[in-house]
Structure 1
């Protein structure tokens, strides 16, 4: 017989802390592989000159066993510079339909010109490679509204071979997850749990 003091029931499914932690990673995996999933585009935060710097990023891969999340980025971007100086990183996920929020914290590892980036680049669609073909770096000022791309590239009039030059700008931000703060919003009373991978301890919390 289940003890409700040991877990929560969500959509008729009972979760204790162990099962809930697994569900967190299942949701993250789904977010990485399903383009329309609520967890596909989290808000990712880094530190810039002592201040929080945030942006929306596309979750590209979630590795539950390694406890790693991966995102693609341009190595000329400010976030790359920020994370090279301060590895602290966080990601905020929210699924409005499930009313579940995950706050993920960890340390960033930057991948560039290695096996991980090479494999990911080869799997990157031609349309997605455009992001790495701008002449000027992301965040460069412009006198006019611009994508930063040449007309041919903007209109996708380029070949896979021509896109290969973008690989020199392609990098991966990997989060080595150190903790997950889980929150479930419920009209009868919210529930919250914390998974600490540094101490290997899981706890229920007051929301």
Structure 2
């Protein structure tokens, strides 16, 4: 008997509601656990020339009630400028252990000088805050590898959060793909127009 035959299929294999719950459980695990594959998804934006750009980010929060995700960035960075100019973006992560891929498309809002940014900064670790005090700004060309300055934690604390911003990605569509030899399952959701939080309509898709 093959290992696949002995292993029961997960509950979300043929249950849209269970697939939805599993998607958000995995994202929540990514927020909490640094070793999770969903802790560091890829974020795609639209560059100044209209071309896609992608980079790895750290997932800081995932709210299933509003279908919103939070990441942090330096407000001087390219991704901050790109999202300020064009809000549409996408996130992607794949975990070979759970055999699940999650894709999210939505619109990002930047929060630098408001309660969202203040709360996100308050919840950040000192070692993370140091990153936002680096000079020169992210993406600056350097004459040599070490030609930048990074403040110590005490100096970073004194600087506050002048370069810090929180990005809230409001999902407009979600795609959940489970890979299994006995049959892949792919579920998709799109945000409807019913209320402030939207109404989600699940659909099984061809893998």
SS at 1:101's partner residue?
strand
CA contact (8 A) 1:132 1:166 kept: no
2:183 is the alignment partner of 1:184: no
1:57-136 paired onto structure 2 within 5 Å: 57-136=57-136
Inter-CA distance 141–13: structure 2 relative to 1 (3 Å threshold): closer
CA distance in 1, matches of 2:123, 2:147: 23
Residue segments in structure 1 that go unaligned for 5+ positions in a row: 1-8
What displacement does 1:148 show? 2.6
Give the TM-score normalised by structure 1.
Answer: 0.87
Inter-CA distance 130–205: structure 2 relative to 1 (3 Å threshold): same
Deviations along 1:147-168, whole A, 9 cap, x unmatched?
7324xx3xx4x41x64241500
CA contact (8 A) 1:89 1:106 kept: yes
**Structure 1 stretches (4+) deviating beyond 4 angstroms?**
12-15
Look up the match of 2:34. Answer: 35
Give the TM-score normalised by structure 2.
Answer: 0.87
CA contact (8 A) 1:133 1:163 kept: no
CA contact (8 A) 1:40 1:59 kept: yes
Deviations along 1:170-199, whole A, 9 cap, x unmatched?
001110011111111111222211111236
Deviations along 1:64-119, whole A, 9 cap, x unmatched?
10110000100000000000111001000111101100110101011111111111
Look up the match of 2:16. Answer: 17
CA contact (8 A) 2:129 2:156 kept: no
Say how many residue pairs are matched. Answer: 193
Inter-CA distance 197–61: structure 2 relative to 1 (3 Å threshold): same
1:34-53 paired onto structure 2 within 5 Å: 34-48=33-47, 49-53=49-53
SS at 1:82's partner residue?
helix
